[in-house]
Amino acid sequence: MTTFSGSDHFWKGAQTLKVPMELFKLNRQRLCEALRAHRTLPPDSFVFLQGGTSEMRYCSDHEPLFRQESYFHWAFGVIEPDFYGAINVQNGESILFIPRLPAAYVAWMGKIKEPDEFKKIYHVDHVYYVDELEKIFDELVGKSKLILVLNGLNTDSGKESQAAHFPGIEHFHIDKTTLHSIISECRVFKTDMELDVMRYANKISSEAHKFVMLNIKDGMQEYEIESLFQYYCGRYGAMRHMSYTCICATGDNPAILHYGHAGAPNDRQLTSKDMCLFDMGGEYYCYTSDITCSFPVSGRFTNEQRIVYEAVLDANRQVMKAVRPGVSWVDMHLLAERTQLEHLKAAGLVQGDIEEMMSARLCAVFMPHGLGHFIGIDTHDVGGYPNPQSRSTLVGLKSLRTDRTLEERMCITIEPGIYFNQSLLNNAYEDEKLKKFLNKNEIDKYLHIGGVRIEDDIAITSDGCELLTVVPRTCEEIEEWMSHNSKQADGKLDYE
């Protein structure tokens, strides 16, 4: 098998990225250092994590393709289900616990790997079987040392992570409160090796977006776009998983932020007059990308499409120029709102004083979501609100997935947007605080656009940011790139 053939890296062959297993060793080291710096934690503690489990769909034997749980991936890079892992905080020693597979596995699932093989693949210090967990913990940890397990709130899902467990763990000394915030904080800051994977995931997903632009035709169904994108990511990037369900929105659909879900399954037919909003990203070895491209099916912007597009692009680029360590993400959100409102005012869609609009939270009518979110092993990556109580309650701002001050090595999306959601607009036309700003006659001319979002992934550097996403962004770049769209007959795909 290619994936771990080199024994010191993960690799999917051909032009795909080699990811050194050192990446995970360094992550574990960073975690141990952070834990050792904790004021009250006994230094001889152990971290104990549970990997993702193999699942079957409801009562059937259908097994969805396994994808590793994100904290476990960050610490160990294991691709198989049903593992556990432990780390000695004092000396950094790492242990994996692997499931003991029945002999029949050899015919159905392949060669049964011995503990020593996994030790070499994953560069850990010891490998035991899951059924030895209690015995090994007895020997290594004993009843006196502390076992740190993961338990805490994910502020995007509202769900609590489930503490690792084995029968008998109740006899040990367990700490459920320390690990979650410290390991989440480690995940916020990407190492050089992690940044390489983030760059690769963005590069392939960017190319896949460009591939879609070359092959789009009016008359297509939106789900064909999803297939084109996934095909490129899978074939040329070895991405078996998308970061999230593809959003392939055309016509009015761009106004639906999470369009593409099972109840709105990318099922509209494209017309030559449509604006597209395609929010799609693949992941490589669990590192995600999250990219939105907006462009006209025709390859040529109309006047209205251009006005909205350039408003959003200006917001995106203003933020991109402003970000650097020390800058507040809330301020960036407000900068994007202000920039977009200025454009909407210049075009006559809104009227009045910009500062008054800002106080009235007018921009949330057009952009009900936050400016962007941390990105990493989860698309909406952890650590956005170390203190969940700090979250704003104001419209628009409360949708921000982080309110933090930016620091070097954070990875975050910049994704301003302007949407024409009839329902949100109708509410606003009836709202005493908002209606005076809105020029319904002008706005009506833009309803057919649905919406525009421009989403890039960046890494914060010491003095600004690195742009990871590489797609045509200005109207001119998009029109130039799409002029190579060959409008060939179905079934032929173009890529240069």
- Residues at the site binding Mn ion, with contacts judged by CB under 5 A: 290, 413
Contact range with a copy of itself by CB under 8 A, out of 149-157, 187-195, 311-319, 461-469: 149-157
Residue nearer to a copy of itself on the CB measure, 200 or 301: 200
For residues 6-25, which are near a copy of itself according to CB under 8 A? 12-14
Residue nearer to Mn ion on the CB measure, 287 or 446: 287
Binding flag, residue 129, a copy of itself (CB under 8 A): no
The CB-of-328 to Mn ion minimum distance in angstroms stands at: 19
Picked from a copy of itself, Mn ion, none, the partner binding residue 492 (CB below 5 to 8 A depending on kind) is a copy of itself
Exactly one of 259, 284, 295, 301 binds a copy of itself (CB under 8 A); that residue is 259
Please tell me the distance from the alpha carbon of residue 475 to that of residue 487, in angstroms, as a whole number.
20
Picked from a copy of itself, Mn ion, none, the partner binding residue 143 (CB below 5 to 8 A depending on kind) is none
Picked from a copy of itself, Mn ion, none, the partner binding residue 493 (CB below 5 to 8 A depending on kind) is a copy of itself
For residues 407-426, which are near a copy of itself according to CB under 8 A? 419, 421, 423-424
Binding flag, residue 267, a copy of itself (CB under 8 A): yes
| Four-residue CA torsion sign, 101, 107, 110, 114 | positive
Q: Please check whether residue 401 is in contact with residue 155, taking contact to mean a CB–CB distance below 8 angstroms.
A: yes
Picked from a copy of itself, Mn ion, none, the partner binding residue 413 (CB below 5 to 8 A depending on kind) is Mn ion
Please tell me the distance from the alpha carbon of residue 414 to that of residue 424, in angstroms, as a whole number.
23
Token pair recorded at residue 495: 């890529």
Picked from Mn ion, a copy of itself, none, the partner binding residue 61 (CB below 5 to 8 A depending on kind) is a copy of itself
Exactly one of 37, 262, 303, 393 binds a copy of itself (CB under 8 A); that residue is 262
For residues 222-251, which are near a copy of itself according to CB under 8 A? 223-224, 226-228, 230-231, 234-235, 238, 240, 244-245
Q: Hey, what amino acid is at 320? A: M
Binding flag, residue 175, a copy of itself (CB under 8 A): no
One character per residue 473-492, x = contact with a copy of itself (rule: CB under 8 A): ------------------xx
- Rounded to an integer, what is the distance from CA 205 to the centroid of its chain? 12
Please tell me the distance from the alpha carbon of residue 239 to that of residue 230, in angstroms, as a whole number.
8
Q: Which residue is nearest to Mn ion (CB)?
A: 290
For residues 60-119, which are near a copy of itself according to CB under 8 A? 60-67, 69-70, 79-81, 106-111
Binding flag, residue 326, a copy of itself (CB under 8 A): no
Residue nearer to a copy of itself on the CB measure, 214 or 465: 214
Q: Hey, what amino acid is at 227? A: S
Binding flag, residue 290, a copy of itself (CB under 8 A): no
| Four-residue CA torsion sign, 425, 430, 431, 432 | positive
The CB-of-48 to a copy of itself minimum distance in angstroms stands at: 16
Residue nearer to a copy of itself on the CB measure, 94 or 253: 253
Binding flag, residue 157, a copy of itself (CB under 8 A): yes
Exactly one of 28, 187, 380, 453 binds a copy of itself (CB under 8 A); that residue is 380
Size of the site for a copy of itself (CB under 8 A): 79
The CB-of-369 to Mn ion minimum distance in angstroms stands at: 9
For residues 35-54, which are near a copy of itself according to CB under 8 A? 52
For residues 205-224, which are near a copy of itself according to CB under 8 A? 221, 223-224
Residue nearer to a copy of itself on the CB measure, 137 or 285: 285
Binding flag, residue 493, a copy of itself (CB under 8 A): yes
Binding flag, residue 340, a copy of itself (CB under 8 A): no
The CB-of-57 to Mn ion minimum distance in angstroms stands at: 16
Residue nearer to Mn ion on the CB measure, 31 or 363: 363
List CB contacts of 359: < 8 A, sequence separation 6 or more: none
